[in-house]
Structure 1
Amino acid sequence: MSKKIVTFGEIMLRLATPGYERFCQATHLNSTFGGGEANVAVSLANYGMDAQFVTRLPKNDIAEWCLSELHKYGVKTDNVVRGGDRVGIYFLETGAVARASKVVYDRAHSSIAEVTPGMINWEEVLKGADWFHWTGITPALSQGAADACLEAIKVANKLGVPVSCDLNYRKNLWKYGKTASEVMPALVEGCDVILGNEEDAEKVFGIKPEGFDVEHTGGEVNAAEFESVCTQMMAKFPRAKKVIITLRGSINANHNTWRGCLYSEGSLKVSKDYDITHIVDRVGGGDSFMGGLIYGLLTYTNDDQKALEFAVAASCLKHTIYGDFNLVTVPEVENLMKGDGSGRVSR
């Protein structure tokens, strides 16, 4: 029987310029859907898990289109609540070489931003769940979304459901009068597994590796330097059993190095390092890592190294796929873990 994983957050309509066109050049935009927790749910559904995505959506045709996209990939949406007026949107301009990608949000007053505690019956949603996942994007949307997320975490803790979070700091989202530093600690306190990148821990909690400049990686990232980040996070949040850091070395917009490290029980595990030379789409890269990590931790029990390697390999493959969703299978990820990155035609 497959494991039941519940994720909670916002899914948006994604409108992207074709290829590497700038906004001012585009005569049309490509439409897909995406959002941190939905991306994780799609990954897990592809791996054969019972993935259930919870959000709030309006009753209109755009919301129905969104739900049909999730259903296409096997994600269950039975616990989506309906109400509000709009589905959030984000616009994407994909960068190239020295020009960075750009994201413009149009998500104010979306249905999920106007969620309040009590709208979602978390006791029912989390009954029989094996995992609950949220990201720092959700509490950034509004006080109501932060409160609903905290409500879910508390119910998960009460029911003994493991909780994971991706810190996912987005400075452009915290607009309702509270900072991430004020809101996030109460939510992260209830988490068993914490994921972040080299900037999240510093931007949200002021925790940083000693003697390392997170702004200028130059493509070289030494995982061992982040052990201090993990130990500081665990000291601050004693419930956490595992802290994971994703390490992206940005050589340019099309060429990154990618690896991860996992700290648990006083030991730091470091993954293989991938050299991703021709990125197709890096949006959703961290979510694909999280989806792979959850699958790995639930499948390769007591083998943190293998779970970490699965997460990094899955995310490496995501960089080759257009859109937010990581549309890969377990055998494809495991082949890359074994070293088959040749890209030869499978016949």
Structure 2
Amino acid sequence: MSKRIVTFGEVMLRLATPGYERFSQAKSLNATFGGGEANVAVSLSNYGMKADFATRLPLNDIAESCIMDLKKHSVGTDFIARGGDRMGIYFLETGAVARPSKVVYDRAHSAIAEIQPGMIDWKEVLKDADWFHWTGITPALSQGAADACLEAIKVANEMGVTVSTDLNYRKNLWKYGKKASEIMPVLVEGCDVILGNEEDAEKVFGIKPEGFEVEHTGGEINSAEFESVCTQLMQKFPRAKKVIITLRGSINANHNTWGGVLYTDGKLYESKRYDITHIVDRVGGGDSFMGGLIYGLLTYEENPQTALDFAVAASCLKHTVYGDYNLVTVAEVENLMKGNGSGRVQR
């Protein structure tokens, strides 16, 4: 029987410059949809799991188009609350080589930013669910969004639903008078699985890996240095059974190294390291990792190493896919896990 996962957060209209054009050059923008938790739901649906996405969207044609897009990817939309005046938007300029990508947000007063506890019936949403996922982006939007997220986590805990978070620190989003360090701890306390990177842990909780600079711009990362981050997070949040750190080495905007570590039951598992030399689109890379991780942990329950390897391979493939969503299959991920990354034409 297929597992059922519920994700909660904001989905946005994504407006991206064509190719590698700068904002100042573009005469048109490519319109798609995306957002951390929606991206995770799409990944899980692609892998054959039942994924429902909960959010709040206005009653207008852009929101309807977004819902149709989610349905196209077999994501459940029955738990989308309707109301508010607008969807959030983000503008993307894709970087190249030494020029980094840029994101400009236009999401103030979006429908979900104005959500309040009680607008979503979480007991109904989480009935028969196996997993609930949220990210640190949602409580960054507003106090109401943070409160609604906490409401969902508490109901999930009461119902025995596994809860995961991607810490996803975005400094440009925390604008309503609260810091991430003030809001996030009580939310993360209810989580069984914590995903983050070295910057998330340092910026939100002041937790640093030993002997490592947070702003890492080289290709080589010693994954063993991050065991201390995992253990510190577990000490701070004793409910957590697994802590996962993504390891990105940024050589330039088109060339990254990519891997991860998973810590559970006092043991550190390390993935192989991928050398991604021609990145098509790295936006949504962390979400694709989370989608792969949830699938892996539910499918290979007794094998944390395989779960981690699936997540890293899935995310590696996402870097070759345009848009927020990771449009790959289980077979394609498993093929890369076996070492087949030649990219030869399949006939």
TM-score (normalizing by structure 1): 1.00
Alignment of 1:28 onto 2:45: no
Q: CA deviation at 1:253?
A: 0.1
* Runs of 4 or more above 2 Å deviation: none
Identity fraction in percent: 82
CA RMSD across the alignment: 0.4
Paired residue secondary structure (1:113):
coil
Q: Which residue in the other structure is 2:73 paired with? A: 73
Q: What's the counterpart of residue 132 of structure 2?
A: 132
1:200 matched to which residue of 2? Answer: 200
Partner of 1:312: 312
- Pairing 1:169-180 to 2, within 5 Å after superposition: 169-180=169-180
The one-letter code of the counterpart of 1:255 is H
Distance in 2 (CA, whole Å) between partners of 1:116 and 1:142 is 10
Q: CA deviation at 1:217?
A: 3.7
User: Which runs of structure 2 are paired with 1:1-347 in the superposition (5 Å)?
Assistant: 1-347=1-347
Secondary structure at 1:112 match in 2: coil
In the TM superposition, residue 166 of structure 1 has moved relative to its aligned partner by 0.1
State the 1:58 CA deviation.
0.3
One-letter amino acid matched to 1:76: G
Give the SS at the match of 1:21: coil
Task: Extract unaligned runs of 5+ from structure 1.
Answer: none
Q: Take 2:140 and 2:219, find their aligned partners in 1: how far apart are those partners?
A: 29
CA drift of 1:210 comes to: 1.2
Measured against aligned partners, the alpha-carbon deviations of 1:203-238 in whole angstroms (never above 9, x if no partner) come to 000000112101134111111000000000000000
Q: Secondary structure at the match of 2:113?
A: helix
- Distance of 1:13 and 1:280 partners within structure 2: 19
Given residue 55 of structure 1, which amino acid in structure 2 is its aligned partner?
T
Instruction: For residue 39 of structure 1, report the CA deviation from its aligned partner.
Output: 0.2
Secondary structure at the aligned position of 1:33 is classed as strand
Alpha-carbon separation, structure 1, partners of 2:73 and 2:346: 22
**How many angstroms apart in 2 are the aligned matches of 1:30 and 1:62?**
14
- Give the whole-Å Cα distance in 1 for the aligned partners of 2:212 and 2:274: 21
> Which amino acid in 2 is paired with 1:66?
C
Question: How far apart, in 2, do the equivalents of 1:26 and 1:52 lie?
Answer: 35
Letter in 1 for 2:151: E
Tell me the distance in 1 between the aligned counterparts of 2:174 and 2:219.
29
Tell me how far apart the structure 2 counterparts of residues 252 and 219 of structure 1 sit (CA, whole Å): 9
Moved more, 214-223 or 31-40: 214-223
SS in 2 for 1:154: helix
Unpaired runs of at least 5, structure 2? none
Give SS of 2:234's match.
helix
- Determine the C-alpha separation between the residues in 1 that align with 2:147 and 2:177: 14
Secondary structure of the corresponding residue to residue 286 of structure 2: helix
Q: Which moved more, 1:151-160 or 1:213-222?
A: 213-222
2:63 alignment partner AA:
A
Distance 1:162 1:184 in 2: 18
Q: TM-score, normalised by structure 2?
A: 1.00
Separation (CA, whole Å) in 1 of partners of 2:302 and 2:223: 22
Counterparts of 1:92 and 1:138, CA distance in 2: 20
Taking the aligned partners of 2:12 and 2:203, their CA distance within structure 1 comes to 25
- Partner Cα separation in structure 2 for residue 50 and residue 2 of structure 1: 7
State the shift of 1:314 in Å. Answer: 0.1
Cα distance in structure 1, aligned partners of 2:335 and 2:146: 39
